[in-house]
């Protein structure tokens, strides 16, 4: 989509965002990780970066604790409160807090530990290849040009040395 001819195509007004239907997205490895998502980047023509407004209901996880090899991500809390896990540490988070995860990143995830919705902006790169690690599951997912495949770490076998 080429939005360069119409400058207004690059602007999403607050009323337009509120009118967008939320898409329910459940993480493939965590039934409690249900995000209610509005994608902001694609309607403005952005292709290399994904930006989403996320709403987590009370008690919901944002994802499965994970790290990326290639894609950088960020989270900016708009409203509500929760607990962010970064590596092995937990942090209370609330409105105005920002988290940035350069690649390769430490493992990270978030849980809505309050009795109100947790709303945040989440964004990151859309590299055509990335490896996502889920340390608590002993699992990795490979993203490769539109395909996503996963494997358990106990299925790995060492490659013999070359002659």
49-63 burial by CB neighbour count: b if 16+ within 10 A, else e?
ebbbbbbbeeebbbb
Mean pLDDT by 10-residue block, N- to C-terminus, for the chain (163 residues)? 69 93 95 96 92 98 96 97 97 98 96 98 94 96 93 91 87
Q: Please give the pLDDT value at position 8.
A: 82
Q: Please give the pLDDT value at position 1.
A: 46
Q: Please give the pLDDT value at position 7.
A: 80
pTM over 0.85: yes
Strand ranges (E), 10-48:
23-27, 30-39
Under 8 Å between Cβ of 45 and 3:
yes
CA pair distance 65, 118, nearest whole angstrom = 18
User: Helices marked H in the chain — which ranges?
Assistant: 14-19
Length of the chain: 163
CA pair distance 141, 90, nearest whole angstrom = 24
Under 8 Å between Cβ of 57 and 112:
yes
Q: Please give the pLDDT value at position 122.
A: 97
| Tokens (6 digits) for 129 | 């290849």
CA pair distance 1, 83, nearest whole angstrom = 38
**Which superfamily is assigned to 7-127 in CATH?**
Jelly Rolls (2.60.120.10)
Q: Please give the pLDDT value at position 163.
A: 81
CA torsion through residues 65, 68, 69, 75, sign: negative
Closest CA to 76 of 111, 118, 35: 118
CA pair distance 72, 1, nearest whole angstrom = 24
């Amino acid at each position: 989509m080429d939005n360069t001819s119409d400058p207004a195509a690059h602007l999403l007004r607050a009323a337009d965002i509120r009118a967008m239907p939320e898409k329910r997205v459940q993480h493939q490895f965590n039934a409690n990780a249900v995000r209610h998502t509005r994608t902001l980047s694609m309607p403005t023509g952005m292709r290399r970066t994904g930006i989403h407004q996320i709403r987590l209901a009370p008690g919901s996880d944002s994802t499965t604790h994970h790290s990326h090899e290639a894609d950088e991500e960020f989270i900016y809390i708009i409203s509500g409160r929760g607990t962010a896990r970064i590596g092995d540490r937990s942090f209370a988070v609330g409105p105005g807090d920002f988290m940035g995860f350069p690649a390769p990143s430490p493992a990270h995830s978030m849980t809505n530990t309050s009795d109100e919705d947790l709303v945040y902006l989440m964004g990151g790169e859309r590299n055509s290849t990335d490896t996502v690690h889920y340390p608590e599951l002993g699992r990795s997912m490979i993203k490769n040009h539109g395909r996503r495949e996963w494997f358990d770490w106990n299925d790995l076998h060492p490659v013999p040395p070359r002659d």
